[in-house]
Amino acid sequence: MKRPVLPYIVLFIGVLIASTSAILITAAINLGVAPLSVAAGRITLAALIITPIVLLRSRDELRRISQRDLMLAALSGICLAAHFATWISSLAYTSVASSTALVTTNPVFVALVTWLVFRERLAWGTWLGVLITVLGSGLIALSDRSGSGSNPLLGDLLALMGAMTVSGYFLLGRHLRSRISLLPYIWIVYSTAALALLLLATLLGHSLIGLPPLGYLLILGLALGPQLLGHTAFNWVIKYLSPTLVTVAILGEPIGSALMAIFFFEQPLMPLQMAGGLLLLIGIGATVLAERPATRTKKGNLNP
């Protein structure tokens, strides 16, 4: 059966855009912007930007969404808020390479939940791809054991928590995107995440007022690029590709982030990081080849 090409192209572009996220976040933190302020500002701006578009184009669909689906979409937003709060905070303590490598180990959690909870059988090639990519992520993280960052252990733990919470975000998205179109879904999710992060930042004494002008520009870049283009691309393809494939493909993000960190922050690539990056690419390729066309075509056609 012929495989649709468009979801793969969109996924590839989404990964490229998402790779800039850690660079923009680290630059903002280096300016003195609190990680929670970065997280709250990023998702709040994204929600505000799409609000008029959603109200103009999808108001009727929003009214038709069931209360159960609305609650599940809000739960997805809570998972996204927890992901940003933990992962963005991790970048204040450990290197870009280690943080992005560990936060993208979420295919392990997605595959386990898909297998244990949803009772979906995973092809042996999918399991092999997951194992290879996790090994690659582990090598990248091990390369940071020399102590890059102020508290690498805390940073790594926060990044791992970010991986767990984003797994719930992807799984809920896969479940809901079969019934809710893209714009209403991301508006509910992003708005919920924004409210949660704004509340958390306020409770902890972090404000979005009085930031450096460049800090605001970096947060705007995060909202327009990695959030609206990158995450929205992932939410679109999750309807047509399996959550395991999408999350494994996102493991390409550490490669781009680590390369950019060399240029912007002079964080050198170690031999273990390069070996890990090669394993990530091999694992992504194995998972793509193992993806069954029959599984994808049951999820819908290519209408957003």
pLDDT at 294: 40
pLDDT at 17: 93
pLDDT at 144: 63
- Tokens 């940073």, located at residue: 155
Strand positions, DSSP E, the chain: none
Return d(Cα 98, Cα 200) in angstroms, integer: 26
CA atoms within 13 A on the CB side of 43: 31
129 touches 248 (CB < 8 A) = yes
By CB atoms closer than 10 A (0-12, 13-18, 19+), residue 121 is exposed
Maximal C-alpha separation, the chain: 56
| The two three-digit tokens of residue 275, written as one number | 């070996």
Quick: pLDDT tens for 162-214.
989 998 998 898 889 889 998 999 999 999 999 999 999 999 999 899 999 99
Residues 6+ apart with CB under 8 A from 235: 173, 177, 182, 185, 186, 189
Helix 96-103 × helix 253-265 angle, to 10° = 170
78 touches 135 (CB < 8 A) = no
Q: Which residues of the chain have pLDDT under 50?
A: 1, 294-304
CA nearest 227: which of 25, 9, 5, 90?
25
Quick: pLDDT tens for 215-246.
999 999 999 999 889 988 888 888 788 777 78
| The two three-digit tokens of residue 161, written as one number | 């928590």
Instruction: Specify the DSSP class assigned to residue 231.
Output: I
SS3 (DSSP) at 179:
coil
pLDDT at 292: 54
Residues 6+ apart with CB under 8 A from 267: 95, 96, 97, 148, 258, 261
pLDDT at 304: 37
pLDDT at 2: 55
* Other beta carbons less than 10 A from residue 32's beta carbon: 10
